[in-house]
Amino acid sequence: MTLDFNASLRARNFNVAFTMEATETVAVLGPNGAGKSTLLGILAGLIRPDSGNAMLGRKRLFKLDGGTNHFLPPHTRGTALLAQEPLLFPHMSVLENVAFGPRAAGANRSKALQTARHWLTEVEAAGFADRRPGQLSGGQAQRVAIARALATDPELLLLDEPMAALDIHAAPMLRRLLKRVLSNRRAIIITHDVLDALVLADRAIVLEGGRITEEGPTRRVLEKPRSKFAAGLAGMNLLPGTITGYGLTSDGGLDITAHPEDGAVPGQNGVAVFSPTAVSVFPSAKHGSPRNSFAVNITELEPQGDQIRVHAGGLSADITPAASADLGLMPGMTVYFVIKATAIAVYPA
């Protein structure tokens, strides 16, 4: 019962192929406009790709090539979509909203209401079954929307940033709820939040410019990112380049001294990854092995927790406000980023 998907849509420069198992939850990460929502739209049957082929278990969602022109309409796919907004039907009560899917699937009224009550209880929303959607808070409405999606018993649950529109107090509860209901269920969740990806997803796909740039177990993608975007999500500095005997030569021409991980072959494409907290900032060059020292031009200073994050030369460093004040850091200033060789991970990309 795997999902086997490949599709391309020229108008959106979208070309993606992947597979997933029956009970897997996949997080789709990527910058805005990377094609994440297009992916869900195509899976849900709301967007028609130019070409491609997708099987959900034994159900062929679409097959579009020169010869065949098969495209299942959304209501026959079993792919419930949960968007950023709850989109509860405003003219129905909460209970009727949740009963909508079972009713559409042919259940009689009492059976559908029974299913609806079950799922409302499951999302701890049984208390407002008789309310109108307009009387719910954002978090409550989104819980009801989850219940409504789950009540259809979807073969594939599609979640498009389900927590993006919630205030920060409502998010943790919803995250716990999703964690519970997504276990043993196949779901794809678009998120900008590392925490969501780590907590909810077994696997992460990084989508950039309509292509998959990285995929793997969520923890590995975030701990050992190979794409700039995943590194950014993980809060890491990432320099792509070529692995050398003593470290890596970045595509920008920086020579980085570090210990390449076992199995890394010189000449191979690789990345150097290090945390901003491992970067020290100096007003002048520091020499002496095993240190890396790069002259960089400060582009921006921003508060980061109780630290100051210094953005310079595409890298970032976290230093204390006191240190920043001592150095008199200003955008436009040239400073030196110094990183111990042992703090840099170099591995094949």
Partner 1 sequence: MTPVSVPCRKRWTASKTNGQNTGYTGFPPWVFALAAAGGLFVLLPLAAMVARINWGQFIPLITSESSLTALGLSLRTSAAGTVLCIVFGVPLAFVLARASFPGQRLLRAFVLLPLVLPPVVGGIALLYTFGRQGLLGRTLELAGMQIAFSTTAVVLAQTFVALPFLVVSLEGALRTAGIKYEAVAATLGAHPTTVLRRVSIPLVLPGIASGSVLSFARCLGEFGATLTFAGSLQGVTRTLPLEIYLQRETDADAAVALSLLLVAVAVAVVGLSRPRPRPLAEEAESE
Residue 48 sits in the site that holds partner 1 (CB under 8 A) = no
The b-or-e profile of 262-280 (16+ CB within 10 A means b, else e) is: eebeeeeebbbbbbbebbb
Q: Which is nearer to partner 1, 83 or 222 (CB)?
A: 83
Q: Which residue, chain included where needed, has tokens 């968007």?
A: 83
Smallest distance, partner 1 to C-beta of residue 85, A: 8
Q: Which of 149, 194, 200, 271 binds partner 1 (CB under 8 A)?
A: 149
Residue 75 sits in the site that holds partner 1 (CB under 8 A) = yes
- For residue 220, what are the CA distances in angstroms to 180, 193, 197? 22, 16, 12
Q: Which is nearer to partner 1, 185 or 220 (CB)?
A: 185
Sign of dihedral through CA atoms 86, 90, 93, 95? negative
- Is there a contact between 268 and 243 (Cβ–Cβ < 8 Å)? yes
Residue 101 sits in the site that holds partner 1 (CB under 8 A) = yes
Alpha-carbon gap, residue 45 to 72, rounded angstroms: 7
Residue 44 sits in the site that holds partner 1 (CB under 8 A) = yes
Q: Which of 66, 67, 134, 305 binds partner 1 (CB under 8 A)?
A: 134
Q: Which of 58, 91, 169, 287 binds partner 1 (CB under 8 A)?
A: 91
Q: Which of 2, 23, 68, 137 binds partner 1 (CB under 8 A)?
A: 137
Q: Which residues contact 331 (CB under 8 A, 6 or more apart)?
A: 298, 299, 300, 301
Q: Which of 37, 53, 152, 237 binds partner 1 (CB under 8 A)?
A: 152
Nearest to 315 by CA among 259, 269, 252: 252
Q: What is the contact surface with partner 1 in residues (CB under 8 A)?
A: 44-46, 73-81, 83, 85, 87, 89-91, 100-101, 104-105, 132-137, 148-149, 152, 158
